[in-house]
Amino acid sequence: MKRLGVNIDHVATIRNARGELHPDPFFAAKFAKKSGADSITIHLREDRRHIKDNDASKICSIKNLLVNLEISTNPSIVKKALKIKPSFICIVPENRNEITTEGGLDLKKNKFKLKKIIDQFKKKNIRTSLFINPRLNDIKISSLIKSDCVEIHTGKLANLLKKNKSYTKELSMIKKCSTLANSLGLEVHAGHGLDYRSAKLLSKIKEIQEFNIGHYIIGESIFFGLSRVIKNFKKIIK
């Protein structure tokens, strides 16, 4: 059974727009789990634009909740994550001027730095994942530096689908990367820009075991409710 990770960053975005306490990401995490989410994803960005340190600590302390903490390679963020001890970590690239994560990690340039970070989390028995572009060489490097998982950046595919443009080449590359990753013992995840259509398409790739979806889920929840949207995605990706 494929798993659904629900990213609740934008619950914090709405809260922060008023500088108040509501809506509370802590409550959102518990409610999403109750609604069928297999795990919760939060991104502790360097600029703390949505999830704050206290949010991350509280959410990671919820009993029987699997939390996937997205982090950059910034030493202070890595130190904070090691202290918080989430269930999983996913290392992502970060640019303070970006609206959202714009692509995968530059593994060729940063493989030694990433290997050191991965080793630190492995010592704490925390599952590691790398957010990568769908490139075969990035899969190979991920395996070499001993990541447990890869999360394939699906933003390009999602955007092609939304614009009704040809997506077969991008889909083919994601399939090839997923097959290679699986053969090398890496667990395959998918995330970024996914909606019902793109998630359904990618669910046909048997090697993809986990989908991490946030913006679309929170957006649809405004109209249809969080529980209903989570249940819809669970049906689509099963």
- Tell me: cis bond preceding 134? Omega within 30 of 0 counts: no
Note the helical H segments in the chain. 9-18, 25-34, 53-60, 75-84, 107-123, 136-144, 155-162, 168-183, 196-202, 215-224, 226-237
Distance CA 91, CA 73 (A): 7
**Residues 230, 32 contacting (CB under 8 angstroms):** yes
* Helix (H), strand (E) at residue 3: strand 3-7
Active site includes 70? yes
Distance CA 212, CA 44 (A): 16
Place of tokens 């986990």: 210
Tokens of 172: 């083919």
Contacts of 238 (CB under 8 A, 6+ apart): 1, 2, 203
Point out the catalytic residue in the list 43, 50, 153, 189: 43
Active site includes 192? yes
Point out the catalytic residue in the list 153, 192, 210, 220: 192
Active site includes 153? no
Phi, psi of 188 (to 5 degrees): -105, 130
With vertex at residue 64, the alpha carbon angle to CA 63 and CA 65, rounded to the nearest 5 degrees, is 90
Point out the catalytic residue in the list 10, 70, 94, 210: 70
Distance CA 230, CA 4 (A): 8
Residues with a known catalytic role: 43, 70, 192
